Structures are given as structure tokens and as C-alpha cells.
Amino acid sequence: MIKLKVMFSGFVKYQDLLYELVVRDIKIRYRRSFLGLLWTLLNPILMMAVITLVFSHLFRFDIENFAIYFFTGNILFAFVAESTTNALYSITGSGNLIKKVYIPKYLFPMSKVLSSVVNLFFSYIAMMLVMVFTGVSFHVTMILSIIVMAYIIMFALGLGLILATVMVFFRDTAHLYGVVTLAWMYLTPIFYPISMLQGKLDIVLKINPMVYFITYLRNVVLYNMVPSMGENLTCFGIGVGFLIVGLFVFYRNQDKFILYI
């Protein structure tokens, strides 16, 4: 509890610095790019077009409103994969700055996650544009999307803090996480029906946190369903649980970072 209070007070004190770190990350990402930030809209749309062509026409997956079905899964998974991968490198990549001046170290992985939140926001807008183009109805339940966004941001930040910590001591983590992320993507029903994993692979559905977040978003965007209290508690529990573990692991080891970076 004390560490959470320290983190919150530091967050308030260094919020301007956090803002600058987020802006820096976004500028670096799109530096010398002709279309710049516009790619945050174009990337998910182009990916959707390719996946829709392959899986709804060539592989014949019988999924209604496949483009939006894919979008709701992809924007969440892409956010988690991008934010956690960037957070993984956040401490080792900021070694010179950490050695020269005092900055709360958690700001580095946090800035990576928040810069990816910007991409998540624009990806959601891109999804709505595709909904207009494809004639998919807008539902009032879409307002609840912000709730699952909050859950998944906590999840990504917690996982990012864990990965950033492990990366300092074990540099092979980056290579391993790339493989894990790829396997994770294929074991998540992003572009195929969830029924494909039911049965022998039920355990995958139960232990994969992304399944709960994606199902939540699909319910409010596609199916005009208000998630139950159980669904909210599950997603909230996953998000807060990972955040608490991430903070614990990070704070327990942060004083030793200087010896390894």
C-alpha cells in the first residue's frame, strides 16, 4: 500500500515528464514517415483487409461481420503485444538517462504503454470507420468499450513492468517473448471462431487472459450485450492482479537495475 502511495505521488510530481516521454516515443515511431500518425488509422484497416480476404474468402470461416469480428480482437491483441514489447526494452534502453539523473524508473515502461494507448484509440476510430463502410450497426453498449480498455491497460502495464524487470537480468527475454507472443496470437481467437478451441483446448480458453478481454469487447460492439457482473469482475481481476504483481516485482528489483544496465 505504501509503495502504491509513493508511486501515485511520484506520478503526480512527474506527470509532465511522463507526458514528454510519451510524446517522444510517438515522434520517434513516426519520424521521417510521410503519413506520420495517419498510419495509426491505416495499419489496422489494411491488416483487416488482408485478413478478411484470406480467412473469410479463402478459408471460408462462417463468421458474421467478419471484418469487425477481426478488428475487435486484433486491436486489443496488437495493443498488448506492442505495449509490452516496448516496455520490455524500456529500462535497458534508457540506461544512460537512468545513470545520470534521478527519474522514477516505472515512468519508462509506463510511457511505452501509454504511447500504445494512443494507437489503441486511433485503431478504435478506424474500426468505427469500417463499421460505417460495411453497414454494421452502432449500439449504445459500445460506450462500455472504455471499461474493457481500462482493464486491458492495467493488464498491459502490469505485464510490461514484469517484462522490463526480467529483461534487465536476462537479456534473452526479448527473443523468448517474441516467440511467446506469436504463439499467444495463434492461440487467441482473433481471426477464427472461438468454437475452434472448445473441447480439447478448453484449457487454452480458460488461462488466456486475452480471450476474456476480446469477448467483452465483441459483446459490446457486435452483439449489443451488456457484460455480466461476473465478466466485469473477471476482467477487472486480471487487470488489477497483473498490475499488483507487476508493481511488486518491479519495486522489489529496481534498486539493482543500475548494476546491470
Residues sharing a CB contact under 8 Å with residue 179, sequence separation 6 or more, in sequence order: none
User: What is the C-alpha separation between 2 and 237, in angstroms, rounded?
Assistant: 21
pLDDT at 112: 94
User: What is the C-alpha separation between 179 and 168, in angstroms, rounded?
Assistant: 19
The reported pTM is 0.89
User: What is the C-alpha separation between 110 and 157, in angstroms, rounded?
Assistant: 6
**pLDDT, tens only, 88-127:** 999 998 888 888 888 889 999 999 999 999 989 989 998 9
**pLDDT, tens only, 62-88:** 788 888 998 999 999 999 999 999 999
Overall average pLDDT of the 160-188 stretch: 95
Residues 144 and 59: beta-carbon distance below 8 Å = no
pLDDT at 26: 75
pLDDT at 96: 84
How would DSSP label each residue in 15-78? HHHHHHHHHHHHHHHTTT-SSGGGHHHHHHHHHHHHHHIIIIIIS----TTHHHHHHHHHHHHH
Higher pLDDT: 12 or 134? It is: 134
What letter would DSSP give residue 104? -
pLDDT at 51: 67
Categorize the per-residue pLDDT at 33 as very low, low, confident or very high, splitting at 50, 70 and 90: low
Lowest mean pLDDT among 83-97, 141-155, 194-208: 194-208
Residues 127 and 38: beta-carbon distance below 8 Å = no
Higher pLDDT: 208 or 134? It is: 208
Q: Which residue has the cell 513492468?
A: 161
Overall average pLDDT of the 20-40 stretch: 71
Overall average pLDDT of the 153-159 stretch: 98
Q: Give the DSSP H/E element, type plus range, for residue 244.
A: helix 229-253
The length of the chain in residues reads 261
pLDDT at 99: 84
User: What is the C-alpha separation between 234 and 229, in angstroms, rounded?
Assistant: 9
Lowest mean pLDDT among 43-57, 72-86, 177-191: 43-57
Residues 162 and 83: beta-carbon distance below 8 Å = no
Q: Does position 39 have pLDDT exceeding 70, yes or no?
A: no
Mean pLDDT over the full length of the chain:
87
With a pLDDT cut of 90, the percent of the chain lying above it is 56
Categorize the per-residue pLDDT at 167 as very low, low, confident or very high, splitting at 50, 70 and 90: very high
What letter would DSSP give residue 92? G
pLDDT at 101: 82
pLDDT at 65: 87
CB atoms within 10 A of CB 258: 12
Per-domain boundaries in the chain: 66-259
Categorize the per-residue pLDDT at 60 as very low, low, confident or very high, splitting at 50, 70 and 90: low
